[in-house]
Amino acid sequence: MKGTIGIFKSMIKICKRCTMKFIYGDVNSFNDLRGIMTRKYCDQCIVQQHRDESRLYQNKIKMNKKVIFQMMKIYKDFESIKQATPYIVSLSKPGKMETYGYSTSALDCNQGGKLHKVKGSVCEHCYARKGRYIFPDVQACLGKRLDKILNEPYWTDAMIYILNNKRINNKLLTIFRWHDSGDLQSMQHFRKIIEIAKMTPTITHWLPTKEIKLMKEFVKTGDKLPKNLNVRVSAFMVDGKPIKLKGMTTSVVITKDKMGKTKGLDCPVYSDPSHGNQCGSCTACYDKTVKNINYLQH
C-alpha cells in the first residue's frame, strides 16, 4: 500500500483546459486517491469547468422545456361549427370551386393596393374591387374577417376546428382556397395560415399571393412549408414573367393572344371551351407539381 501511495505523490498530468502541467498534492491515505486517475483539470481550471458544464446543462433544460411546451400546445375546444364561427365571422364560397375559402377586402391589400395604380398590372382592373364585392354589406363582412385575423386570439383555433369538420356535398373538405379576395397582411398572418395547414393535414390549401417581400423573408428563414400548403406567387404585370421562389409555385395573368403560347398550364376554364366556367374536378391550382399556371385576363 505504501508503495502505491508513493507513486501517486509524484503524479504529473496535463490539464485539458489550460494545457499546463499540474502535480497532485500530498496523499496521506488511500481514500484520498479516489478519482485521481480520471482527473482532467488543474485546481484553477476545475472550478471554471464545473461552472461551464452547469451553464450548458441549464441551457439544455431550458431548450427541452421549450420543445415540450410546443409539443403540448392545446387548442381551444369547440363543441360545434356554430360555436366556432363567431371567432372567424364566416367562410367565403368562391363561385367556381367545389369548396370554401376565406377572403378579406381587396381594398386592404398591401402590394395589391400599390399595383392597382399601375397601368398594365394584374391589379389595375381588380375583379375584387367591383361587382358584388363592393356592396356595403359584403365590405363590412370582409372587414370583420380581417379584424378577426389581426385581433382574435382564437381565430387560428376556430379555423382549424371548422376546416376539420366542415362538409360540402356531405363530404369533408379536401381542398381549401385562401383569399379569393384580399391578401396576406403580415408574417404573423402567414404563420397562422401555416399553422392551420399543419393542423388540417387531410386538406390541401391553395394560397395565391403578391406579397413577394413577405415570401422572400420566409424563404430566408430556411423554414419549409407544410406539404399540404401550396403558395402560388402571382406575377405583378399582365403577360409578365413568373416570380420564382424556393418551395413555391407561380402564376401569370395573360392576354388572350398569349393563350397556348406561354410556358406553363393554361387554366382550362379559359383555354378549354368544353371544360365550362367551373373548376369541376380540376385541382391544378392546389398542386405543387404544376409549377406555373396561366390565367386569362378578365
CA distances from 159 to 149, 176, 193, 200 (A): 10, 11, 9, 9
CA distances from 104 to 17, 112, 121 (A): 61, 12, 20
Is residue 25 predicted with pLDDT exceeding 50? Answer: yes
Residues 113 and 126: their CA atoms lie apart, in Å, by 10
The pLDDT assigned to 40 comes to: 80
The pLDDT assigned to 8 comes to: 47
> CB-based contacts of 206: which residues, under 8 Å, 6+ apart?
175, 176, 177, 178, 230, 232, 285, 286
The pLDDT assigned to 28 comes to: 52
> 34: pLDDT confidence band, cut at 50, 70 and 90?
low
The pLDDT assigned to 72 comes to: 59
Cell of 72: 403540448
Residues 230 and 207: their CA atoms lie apart, in Å, by 6
Q: What HEC string does the chain produce?
A: CHHHHHHHHCCEEECCCCCCEEECCCCCCHHHHCCCCCCCCCHHHHHHHHHHHHHHHHHHHHHHHHHHHHHCCCCCCCCCHHHHHHHCCCCECCCCCCCCEECCCHHHCHHHHHHCCCCCECCCCCHHHCHHHHCHHHHHHHHHHHHHHHHCCCHHHHHHHHHHHCEECCEECCEEEECCCCCCCCHHHHHHHHHHHHCCCCCEEEEEECCHHHHHHHHHHCCCCCCCEEEEEECCECCCCCCCCCCCEEEEEECHHHCCCCCCEECHHHHCCCCCCCCCCCCHHHCCCCCEEEEECC
pTM of structure: 0.76
The pLDDT assigned to 285 comes to: 97
The pLDDT tens digits of the residues spanning 69-83 come to 555 578 898 999 999
The pLDDT assigned to 96 comes to: 85
> 37: pLDDT confidence band, cut at 50, 70 and 90?
low
The pLDDT assigned to 56 comes to: 77
Is residue 65 predicted with pLDDT exceeding 80? Answer: no
For residues 273 and 214, the answer to whether their CB atoms sit within 8 Å is: no
The pLDDT tens digits of the residues spanning 125-141 come to 999 999 999 999 999 99
The pLDDT tens digits of the residues spanning 258-275 come to 999 999 999 999 999 899
The pLDDT tens digits of the residues spanning 174-195 come to 999 999 999 999 999 999 999 9
- Alpha carbon of residue 219 to chain centroid: 10
Write down the mean pLDDT value for the chain: 88
Is residue 212 predicted with pLDDT exceeding 90? Answer: yes
